[in-house]
Each structure stands twice: as structure tokens, then as C-alpha cells.
Amino acid sequence: MTNAETDVHELTGTITSLVHHNPDDGFCIAELTPEQGAPVTIVGVIPGAVAGESLRVRGTWERHARYGRQLRVQSYELVRPSTAEGIVGYLSGGLFPGIGRKKAEALVKHFGERVLDILDDHPQRLSEVPGIGPKLAERIATAWHEHREVHRIMVFLHEHGAGPAMASRIYQKYRSNAMHVLEREPYRLALEVRGIGFLTADKLARAAGITATDPQRLQAGLLHVLSEALGEGHFFLPRDLLLRQAQRLLGCDEQLLELALAEVVRSGQVVHEDDEERQPGYYLQETLEAEKELAGLLLSLGDRARDGVPSNEQTCAWLQKRQDMGALALTPTQAAAVCQALQGPITVITGGPGTGKTTITRAIADAAEALRWKVALCSPTGRAAKRLSQLSGKPASTIHRLLGWDPIKGHFAHDAAEPLAVDLLIVDEASMVDAMLARDLLRAVPGTAQVVFIGDADQLPSVGPGNFLRDLIASGVFPVVRLTEIFRQEEGGQIVANAHEIREGRMPRLVPGSQWQGEDCVLMERETAEEAAQAVLKVVTRSLPKLGYGLADTLVISPMHRGPAGVEALNQALQAALNPPGSDKIELRRGRTLYREGDRVIQTANDYDRNVYNGDVGQIVRMDHAARTAVVEFDTGPVNYDYSDLDQLELAYALTVHKAQGSEYPAVVMVLHSTHYIMMRRNLLYTALTRAQKLAVIIGDRKGLWKAVRTADEAERYTRLAARLRRALPHTPTAERMRFG
């Protein structure tokens, strides 16, 4: 554990020894001897730090349980050594190849204290010194200029609000070209460096003298708006909306924006596509190509005839035999789903909670195995895959792990060249599959395989771009089986019934908290968001443990990130209550987040090299300040993180509904307060409630509840996948019209 002070202190001194230095991210632990006083330990990001270097550092004092008192460096600047002895120590400290103490003394003897000025202005003169030839002089000069460049970058970035971690990422990306990019092409940062958005790049650009109406800025702003749209689920934006959002971001004249838009279209970075019914759509080039490729893959797979598929009669006879051996009887609609899945090539099965999706999944997989087909089951997230495996009794994996990332080649191991060895692929929780992931998956499906997409189309759409499951259904091209009969009523109690009531726009039946007698759907009314947050804390830390629900059994959901009852505030409160600080726990603050050993965390980005993916939930089991690493235990095993990569992790005591999708917990506590007004929609409440297996506790006010139930409309996602599919193939009868006895 680290106890830190808040006051910023400044020290000037010389690095007398390096305890630790990471050349990749610049982090170091060093001993700094001040101009006056005893040596101190400094800790922080100082790229290229060498013994003998003089620095002026600013930071806060902290006392580490293992390492004692140390100064956590927030910023620094180089201070040239001013004495002959200081210069000798600096030159022989390891920065300059081939320079030991004797050669350093010879340089100082020859040039005096002007030796650093010689390095700046006339490095070729170094060869005047006996023992230093032209080649060594060139190597020394190169090392000197690279070293100065690194520090110049760090100082420039610090002066304009960029922290050490960001500065380190910029330097790692561009190396000696970093200052050129910062001063001449700063908007590249937003596109090429993780963690840097347009606003940060714009701030650096303005500091470098780039004007508000510079074409570079306007073009970058348009690209940023389209990139942001992709993050919000859109594949493209209509012209008017694109210009309106760009104008709001950039604050400039629309005529200038139209010129900038014409230029990014001319350069090929943006493509506009006409539509007969709507105004032109503007795509990022790679996004348009991805949507077209996805449509092509679906049509190609769906257009191929299959050999050796069973007839309806054969499948129904097998199902009857299976039933005679003790399996659950299937309804005609469920039997139709099994028949269609086995005949393929693409089948969509959709239905709400309790409608038998798991029963059908198990029957399809059993039938395929009886046919001696190779079967694979997958889901978008680790928790969803684990649940799929438990319910189906079959092995299941995430889509990413099924495809297998090859870190050497930098792409998935399975693709068109190396397809999956499967005859039948079942994709569960398909509503969570975004269009990009669907494309990657379908690239790897062999032309002879059947694919079954199973999901609840009434849940929230995917976090990533597109509306894949709904587009498949809306296209009318592929057979769709809709499950409407509820079988899990008694098992699911009021949770399942309420989910269907909400889906139909009717108020759910919730028992007031003050009258609770063991029911599975509870409403705890609280007037303010602050009171709702306090109630969440009490329910999770006191009430639920008394009922046998520990942290591993409980999920807290909130619609918003910010606010008194938002995910951020709830995570901080729950962290303090459920995983308080202790002398045996190491912790580290990064930006707004405090990470502590024992914390529950969620991965927020796909990290192919570490084989962890967006939505994976784990626990921090170990942190090491000296090595600057943390170990997180996921369902698939431990994963090592460098401290510089901890921004991929967020606390997971509370999650947004989107991040909770695909998971089920015995107990779910959901905040539903009218202060979250803009998020109150029917599919959000429906998705949140269906995360609960045994107990659902809604905390908020009736105004928020009414708003969520009554608001069916949702923001449109701009995608043309369904239209591309419809235009390419005639309408295909859906499996809903088929009946089997």
C-alpha cells in the first residue's frame, strides 16, 4: 500500500544511481542527490534517464510499505551539470556508447565546461580528443541528440497537459520523429495513438500554432466525428448530420466544412454512397468495405447447397426417439428450429427469456453430434460462453478465442485461408455480436458449414458498430424462428413474466421493499439519486449477504457513467466497502481510477496479444510497484498487465447495462432513477432485468420506471446491411411458417 501526500514539491539534483529503468515506457526508480541534503528515491516516467544526469523534478511524497519514502515524479526538466565533476559523471553515466570515465575526463580536459555546447553545435570536434575517432564521435553525437529529443518531447507534452504515460506512448510510436508529428501533424495522434482523442490532439495542435480554420484541423474533425459515430454503433452518417456534428465540434463556418469534406472524399479517407430513399451516407473507407464484405460473406454462405443434411422427417423421428429416452419434448416451433438449423445454411433463432433457446441449442448440438458433425459453440464474452457451456452441457468459447489470435502475424489464426474445422457453428447471444466481429467470424466459416445465430432481438444492440442480429432478421433473406411461448415461468418466477410485460410496454409487477416477503422482483423507491446510491450500498453490503448472496453472486447495474448513482460513483463506494485499503494491499491511482489488489475489474478493449477481450471480468490478485505489473485472474487464467496498460481495466463492482449484457447473476441490483432520464428506454430495462436469475432489486423512483417502460423508440443506427442483403437476393420464406408434428 502507498500513502501519498497532496502537496507538490520540487527538487534539483543529480541521478547518482538507477535502481530500475524500463526502456519501453521510460519508467524508472532512481536515487537523486539534491544540491543540498541526503539522497532521495524518485519514482516516475523519465525516458532515457542515466546516472550523472541533472534534473529538476516536481512531484508528491509518498511512503511505500516496502520501499519507504519516495518522490512520485509528476514532471521534470533537464538541468545541465555545471561543474567539471558533474559533467564527467554525466558523460560516463552510460548514455554515450564507448565513453567511460577516462574518455569523459579527457573530453572535459580538452574542452573544459564547454563540452556540452560542443556537443550541441560542433559535435565533429570531438575527434580532436585523443582516443576518439570520427566514428565514435558520430555515435556520441547521435546519442546526445536522441536523448535531448526525448526530453524535449516530454517537456512539451507536460507543458500542454499530457501526462507521462501519454507522453511515453507518443514517443514509443514515433521515436525521433515525435516532435515533427507534434508540431506539424498533431491530428495523427488521435488516429494512431491509443488513449489520445481528437480533443487532446486539438489542444496540442493549437499549442503548436495551428489555427482553428486550418484545413488539417477541419479534415481531422470530420474523421473524428465519423470515428465517434462508429463507436456509437453507426456505420455511416447522413451528410446533414455529419456537417452539423462537425460544426458543433469545430465551431467554424459550414462552407469551410463542405470544402474539407470534399477533400477527405477526394483523398479516399471518406466515401459517400448514394441511396434512393435517403440522402448520401458518408463512410470511413474501411467501414464501408467492412459492411460490404459482411453482406457478401452472408450471401455467399447462404447461397451454397449442402449435402448430407437430414430431412424434416428424419429430424423429427430422431427428436421423438430422443424424447422417448427422457429428453424434453419440443413444441412444433422448437422442432422447426432444429430442422432448419440442420438444413442451414444460415438460421436465426430469437426469443425472450424462458422461451426455450437453451433447450433448442442443446437439441441442435446433440442432433449434429448424432450425425457425426463437428460442432462449435461460441458467444461474444467470456461470461456468456461459460454460461452457454454450463446450460448446454457442451464446450463453448468466446468468438475471439475460437478464431485464435496470432500475435506474430497480427491477425486471427482462422480466416478464409485457414477456416474453422466445423460442420455446424452455433453463435449464442447474437444480439451482442457487432458487425465487425461477425465479419471476422464469417471469414473463418467453411463453405460447407451451417451457422445458427441465437439471441434476443429485443435486448440492447451490440456495443460495437452495426445492428447485426436485427439486420439479419429485418432483411427477410434468411430463415427466422421466433420463440414466443414461455416455458420458464415457474423457474424464473416473476422475473421472466415481468421481462415480457416490459417488452410489451406494460408496467412490471414489483413488490415494494417495505413489504418484501421473499418475492424475486423488488422496487425500493428513493427520492434522490444520492439516496438511491446509499440504498445500493446497503443492499449489496448488508441485505444480500444475509440472504446468501456474496459479491460473486451479485451484479450492480446503472444506466449512466456519471452522477451520484452512476457507475463511477457506485464503483468507488462499493470498492471502499467491499475491498477496503489495508497494509497488505498494494494500490495505484491512474487518472480517476484507484486500482487495489482484490478489486473486481472488467477489460474494456480487445487486447489480442494478452488474449483478453472487451467484457471479460476478473480480479486483481497481485500488484508489484517495482516491476510495474499487475496480475488479473480471469475465468481463462491469469493475465499480466504493465502499469501503462491499466487504462484497459475499469472497476466492475458496478457496470453499465451494455457491459452487463451476456452475463447472468443470481442477484441483480439496478439503479433506475429519473435523473438518468436520457437513458430510460424499454430495451435497457428489459436487458437489465433479464440479467437476474433469482432476485432483481430495482432502486430508484417510479418516474424513472415509467419513463423506461413507456419509451420504446431508440436512436436509429445508421447501417445498410439489411438493405444490401435485400437487394441481392429474393425474399426467402422464414422458418416461422413451417410446422412439424
Average pLDDT over residues 708-718: 83
The mean pLDDT of the chain is 87
Reduce the DSSP state of residue 733 to 3 states and report it.
Answer: coil
**How many whole angstroms separate alpha carbon 313 and alpha carbon 309?**
12
Largest CA distance in the chain: 101
Average pLDDT, stretch 561-582?
94
d(CA 15, CA 71): 13
Q: What pLDDT digit, counting tens, does each position of 537-571 carry?
A: 999 999 999 999 999 999 999 998 889 999 999 99
Confidence of residue 276 (pLDDT cuts 50, 70, 90): low
9-26 average pLDDT score: 81
For residue 108, count other CB atoms closer than 10 A to its CB: 20
Q: What is the pLDDT of residues 26-65, one digit of tens each?
A: 778 899 998 788 899 999 878 767 777 788 888 999 887 6
Beta carbons within 8 Å of 38's beta carbon, 6+ residues apart: none
* Whether pLDDT at 359 is above 50: yes
Cα separation, 105 vs 86, in Å, equals 11
Average pLDDT of span 363-390: 91
pLDDT level of residue 729 (50, 70, 90 thresholds): low
CA distance 158 to 73: 12
In which residue are the cell numbers 472524399 written? 265
Helix axes 489-503 and 682-689, enclosed angle (nearest 10): 170
C-alpha cell at 350: 430469437
Q: Residue 41's beta-bridge partner residues?
A: 31
Give the contacts of 477 (CB within 8 A, at least 6 positions apart): 298, 299, 302, 725, 726, 728, 729, 731, 732
The whole-number pLDDT of residue 155 equals 67
User: How is the chain split among helix, strand and coil, in percent rounded to 5?
Assistant: 45, 20, 35
Kindly state the helix (H) or strand (E) to which residue 616 belongs, with its residue range. Answer: none
